[in-house]
Chain A
Amino acid sequence: MIENVWLITALPLAGFIVIGLLGKRLGEKLSGIIASLFSAAAFVVTILIFMEVLAKEESARKIIVKFFDWIVVGKVNTAVAYQVDPLSLVMTLIVTGVGSLIHFYSIGYMHGDKLSAKYFAYLNLFMFSMLNLVLGSNLLIMFLGWEGVGLCSYLLIGYYYETKEAGDAGKKAFIVNRVGDFGFLIGIFLILFVFGTLEFSELEQLAEGHKSGEMVIFWITIMLFIGATGKSAQIPLYVWLPDAMAGPTPVSALIHAATMVTSGIYMLARLSFLYVKSPETMMIICIIGALTAFFAATIGMFQNDIKKVLAYSTVSQLGYMFMGVGAGAFSAGIFHVMTHAFFKALLFLGAGSVIYALHHEQDIRHMGGLRKKLPITHFTFLIGTLAIAGTPLFSGFFSKDEILWKVFNYSPAIWLIGATGAAITSYYMFRLYFVTFYGEMRYHEHGDHKVHESPLIMTVPLVILAALSLGGGLFGIPHILDFFHMGNLLEEFLHHSVSDSSVVSHGASTEIAMMAMSVILALVGFFISYKVFFKGKRVPGKDEEYSGLPKTVYNKYYVDEFYNIAFVKSIYHAALILWRAFDVFVIDGIVNGVAKLLRNLGGGMRETETGVVHDYMMYMAGGLVSFFVLLFLFFL
């Protein structure tokens, strides 16, 4: 089955082609079913391959399946090939598994949308690109997938393209990503220049020959990291993600929670052998991750759109993943990718369920009292909230804790930022939970649009994801809590695929103390939220009521406005000048000038056709005389 790994990407591609061509005829429901089935089929294939790989022993778990040579230039031979190893399998399982659930969910959510065949085509195309990204055996295939998901992100964010908001959001996502991609490309060029190959397996071997801290490794890793900040929404390129909430909610769940945004982490993990050779870059990554985590969390505290809260939460959680990676704990970062995929997708789909029930109301100030009306949604949302806040036994607890522990060993200062962020996370997530589901119902039911639970096809995925959010922690039980002696399954599984430069310089007792610390912080956030929003039944105020610091935070610290002035407007004006001065004046001038010249020449020549025979005779005489003059000179 491993040789048939191409099926995993071929199935969604087939779905895209079929729905893309026949979508109008198939109709909404059928398109959705086809898309979902193809995704699910890809998941099944992944499971089969996974089991086959599990059966092999540890050192034999990297299999490269080559399809054909692609770019062969000089000494560089880039093939179209997939690398089947633990890391790519983990990612593929997440993408196909969670992705399929979201496909099924979408069938219910997009009900009534007349263009949903296009939606499912795009979803399948996205799956195809993302799977190429994680399965590719070299940087070129990965970059193809990278760009592909960027494109699908643009298509899906701007799905409701008739509204300016959606169109702008799509463009913003694509353009900001592009800035990051520029860095990525420079990184690829440098790698090609230095190592002469783009294959991961070859790079891993070649990297052995370089010393730690070399200048060129630093630049390569920094450039690639810039690409990661674009795709994974870190400072300074995170600004597209909150705007991306303009797209349909399942899209937010899939792309901006579970899969695409994690590409950056995956890329870092994939090239971990390179990153461990550049401690400076790792430090930068860790710091940026921490700052982002904290910064985004503060913004999330004040947001009133249910999706925006989750969006900033995503940015924040991605920051945690980068923190872990920066501290050298690559597998911890991947672990958090996995758990985050579960609970964030769950939260987004749950939010989608709420939005669906309330007929596309997204402001939490108009929600409330939905606990009884939407029981399943409420219950699963609660599980998701508990998971993200880091409640013990839930998956989020294990993954976030592992990261914080490794970061504490790396740098207590950075740990402090991360821990504070965790407290804030707990606070704003419970704020969201309480305001949305408790209190009196501020939503006005009109006519026959009663508020009721979403259909099964939407609630079943919620339940599945809730179970995963709960049990997902089993994959990474840390040693000190390993009562059943399972071992850290994920870390062992990933052992040979990713490097690990994390240090543990403190003992087990410190570890337990830190763990307790995280729980306490989470509880602190919970309690504040509980007091204000549950007991106090406070509802966030109207927009005009904000002032001072809260107003600044609520307005995202005016970062977008700053970017607009500093970058957008200046480039726009520069382009305008260039256009006027150069394009119109010089180039058009040349082109028009040539035309004018020819016209005048022609006009001049036209004057010779007088129709007067004498003039023609003069021309003849002149020619004759010239001929003879030449003859004469020749004889001279």
Chain B
Amino acid sequence: MDSTALISFIKPVVFYTFAATAVLSAIMVIVSKNPLYSAVNLVLTFFSIAGIYVLMGAEVIAVFQILVYAGAIMVLVIFVIMFLNLRPSLFKIQFKHVFRSGLAVVFMTALFAIIASLFSKGVGVYMEHAQKGEITQAAIDAEGGFQLFSRALFTEFLLPFELTSLLLTVAIIGVVVLIRGMIKPGVSKKGQEK
């Protein structure tokens, strides 16, 4: 069989599989009573999205997605859930909550319908007439996605890169400051390292 024909056959299948998984698990995030279940479903969502990224040809981002999001953030979240010992939701369901939920669903459905219909018309047209850059698929195949990405990161986008590292440092300091109150007095100075 011809490779392009194979690709043109497999691509939609793969796409729809990943897309469906992403959407379904996103819905499960919302619907699950147990916060732990929600967290795990979110991980699945992230993985699906990573697959989409690969399909689009952006492996770099796919890797970062899995490394950072699924690997770090979700771990942190699950830690917190367990730390707080959260049980499945025992919140009282009142009418106003049901009403609000229904209203939210209505709003969001409407929003989706509107935006999707608006964009779907324009995106194709835009893509045809917009000016393309140089990083074509061929270039990626030639040099490698990470090389191109890193080159851009350390030349054109050096400033944001450095600022981001600063931001992360600030975040760490912030967390430490916030948590200090939780440390019981009497612990030795070594405890501050926590």
Contact = CB atoms under 8 A, between A and B. Distances in A.
B95 to A, nearest CB: 14
Interface string A602-621: 00000000000011001001
A625 B103 contact: no
B114 A628 contact: yes
B111 A625 contact: yes
Given A629-B114, A635-B118, A614 B107 contact: no
B100 interface: yes
Contact of B111 (A614, A615, A618, A628): A628
A622 interface: yes
A556 B117 CA distance: 100
Contacts of A622: 107
Contacts, number: 26
Interface string A326-370: 000000000000000000000000000000000000000000000
Given A624-B111, A628-B111, A629-B110, A618 B117 contact: no
A614 B100 CA distance: 9
A635 B104 CA distance: 24
Nearest to A628: B114
Contacts of A631: 114, 118
A628 B115 contact: yes
A362 B118 CA distance: 105
A614 B115 CA distance: 23
A263 B118 CA distance: 92
B100 A632 contact: no
A30 B107 CA distance: 92
Contacts of B108: 621
Interface string B91-117: 000000000100110011011001101
Interface in B96-147: 100, 103-104, 107-108, 110-111, 114-115, 117-118
B159 to A, nearest CB: 33
Interface string A309-329: 000000000000000000000
B18 to A, nearest CB: 27
Given A625-B110, A625-B111, A632 B104 contact: no
A624 B110 CA distance: 11
Contact of A618 (B100, B114, B118): B100
A625 B107 contact: yes
A632 B116 CA distance: 11
A251 B117 CA distance: 98
A629 B108 CA distance: 12
A628 to B, nearest CB: 5
Contacts of A628: 110-111, 114-115
A629 B110 CA distance: 8
Contacts of B104: 618, 621
Contact of A621 (B107, B115, B118): B107
A533 B118 CA distance: 120
A545 to B, nearest CB: 92
A632 B107 contact: no
Nearest to B122: A635
A488 B129 CA distance: 120
A297 B117 CA distance: 106
Nearest to B96: A615
Contacts of B107: 621-622, 625
A613 to B, nearest CB: 12
Contacts of A615: 100
A614 B96 CA distance: 11
Contacts of B100: 614-615, 618
B117 A632 contact: yes
A618 B114 CA distance: 18
A636 to B, nearest CB: 10
B128 to A, nearest CB: 20
A606 B103 CA distance: 22
Chain B CB count within 10 A is highest, among A622, A628, A629, for A628
A132 B107 CA distance: 83
A614 B107 CA distance: 14
Interface of B: 100, 103-104, 107-108, 110-111, 114-115, 117-118
8 contacts: A614-B100, A625-B110, A625-B111, A628-B114, A629-B114, A631-B114, A632-B114, A632-B117
Given A614-B100, A618-B100, 5 more contacts: A621-B107, A625-B110, A631-B114, A632-B117, A632-B118
The 10 closest A-B pairs by CB, nearest first: A632-B114, A628-B114, A625-B107, A621-B107, A625-B111, A625-B110, A618-B100, A628-B111, A629-B114, A628-B115
